Amino acid sequence: MELESQSAQRCEEAERAVFEEQNVHDVNELRDLVEGYRAQNEFLNKEIVLLHKMVRSVEERERKWQKHFAEVEGCYYQMKSRYLMVLNHFKSPEKPSIMMEKGMLQQLMAEVCRTARSSAEETDALGFYLKERTMQDNSSGDLLDMAAECADKGTRTLEAAKLVQSKENMIWLQSWDSFIVNWVGRPLVGSQDLKNLIRTGIPEAYRGRIWKGLVQLLLKEKLSELGNGYYSSMLRKTLHQQESGVYDLSIKQIDLDLVRTLPANRMFADPDSEKVKQLRRVLYAYRNHDRVIGYCQGLNRIAAVALLYLEEEDAFWFLIAFTELQPADYYASNLIGAVADQKVLRDLVAEKLPRLAGHLRQFEVDLSLFALSWFLTCCVDVLPHEIYLPIFDVFLYEGNKTLFRFTLAILKLCESAVLQSKSVSTIHACLSRPRQYVPDYKSLAQVRFILARLHFWCDID
């Protein structure tokens, strides 16, 4: 309802603007209006071209999937025939007329394993595997479990399709479309409308553009001061150090961390892939930009997430903006800033979630063992990308307090399972894998909002 009212309000403002423009007679003002419309027209033309490319890409993917489904259907009927043969064999093993061919059972098991490995390599548009790669070599998997998993996947796909076509989703997209059109040709400026929109998540098509605008807003003075060519100069500095034979422990650690940055993403799996090369250069440049921090494990994940949507140099500035939104010494070698936040979090949990805090004390479980990495990487390690990417959206606009709010919401969703745990190991299992208790970003954001309202946080807006 809030987004719908905002959309209606923007329409009214647009109508008023048109009426006011009709009463303009000054030549200079008319020239400015023409220039504004020209810039807007150029932007809309680019958007049309971009949307046309996206439509063609979707159509091509749909054709591939239709072909794939036809092949799967054919394979299904073929395997069904063979399984009936196997069942008949075990039902009447003495009858030679329905005896199973030699090696048939081994062949069927091999096909199951091959299907499991194939499905594990499928990725989404961002390169994330649709199925966890740890399932890839499960050669002894139960066929019934696999069937149930496929049925569940089909249900989720249908639900996702319905959500995309829902009225609520269309209003959300229209609100973002309206914002983007009105923003064109101008620097991004903070506002309550923008904050409300970002809290709902940024559409995939606009995320890169909004992130770049937010980074420019956050680093306006620094970008003006350092000027163009700064990123290239940082890279040249690194190259000069390497040619001089200077040993740099940070550079060595960066090289070690590259291929384990986003293990669930195909584009970062190969050390020779273009994305990994870009990531290396971004981290090298940042190491010379901030000699105090240099490099801290976790920064590789932040930079990699930025590279999913931004060009290489923009990802470098994204990393700078991200670290500057954190308190001082957050990524220093002693992590003093991050450790201080863990103490604040412990006090907040004791205040907002007293039962959970008491249960953790009873079993002497240190929450920071889990939450520290959540704060350092904005939950990249523990949540699916569909959930942590909108958290990045909010963090870029609202800063460090976002981490406390979403962490409390995650803990609230985990609370029931943790309270039922009667051993340290089961508590560790719950807090190590919170994704099983966080169904989607919308649910997490609702809990975050409810906690804020319930406890009357003074800075809720």
Domain extents for the chain? 225-325, 336-454
pLDDT score at 459: 47
Q: For residue range 141-183, what is the model confidence (pLDDT) as tens digits?
A: 455 566 666 666 666 666 666 766 788 888 999 999 999 988 8
Q: State the burial class of residue 434 (Cβ atoms within 10 Å of its Cβ: 0-12, 13-18, 19+).
A: buried
Query: Which fold is adopted by the domain 336-454?
Result: Cyclin A; domain 1 (1.10.472)
DSSP string, 171-204: HHHHHHHHHHHHHTTS-----HHHHHHHHT---H
DSSP string, 339-400: HHHHHHHHHHHHHH-HHHHHHHHHTT--THHHHHHHHHHTTTTTS-HHHHHHHHHHHHHH-T
Nearest CA to 392 out of 316, 304, 327, 457 is that of 304
Distance between CA 271 and CA 269 in Å, rounded?
A: 7
DSSP string, 5-39: HHHHHHHHHHHHHHHHHHT---HHHHHHHHHHHHH
Query: Per this entry, what is the length of the chain?
Result: 461
Terminus-to-terminus CA distance in the chain, angstroms? 18
Nearest CA to 440 out of 201, 209, 206 is that of 201
SS3 333: coil
Distance between CA 449 and CA 446 in Å, rounded?
A: 5
Distance between CA 16 and CA 13 in Å, rounded?
A: 5
pLDDT score at 132: 58
The pTM of this model reads 0.75
pLDDT score at 284: 96
Q: For residue range 46-87, what is the model confidence (pLDDT) as tens digits?
A: 778 777 777 777 677 677 767 766 776 677 676 677 667 667
Residue 266 CB partners (closer than 8 Å, separation 6+) = 121, 123, 127, 128, 129
The series of mean pLDDT values per 10 residues for the chain, 461 residues long, is: 54 52 64 75 76 73 71 69 68 54 60 51 83 47 58 65 77 91 86 95 94 96 90 92 83 92 92 95 96 93 98 97 96 94 96 96 95 96 96 97 97 97 95 94 94 61 47
Query: Which fold is adopted by the domain 225-325?
Result: Helicase, Ruva Protein; domain 3 (1.10.8)
Burial 88-107 (b: 16+ CB within 10 A, else e): ebeeeeeeeeeebeeeeeee
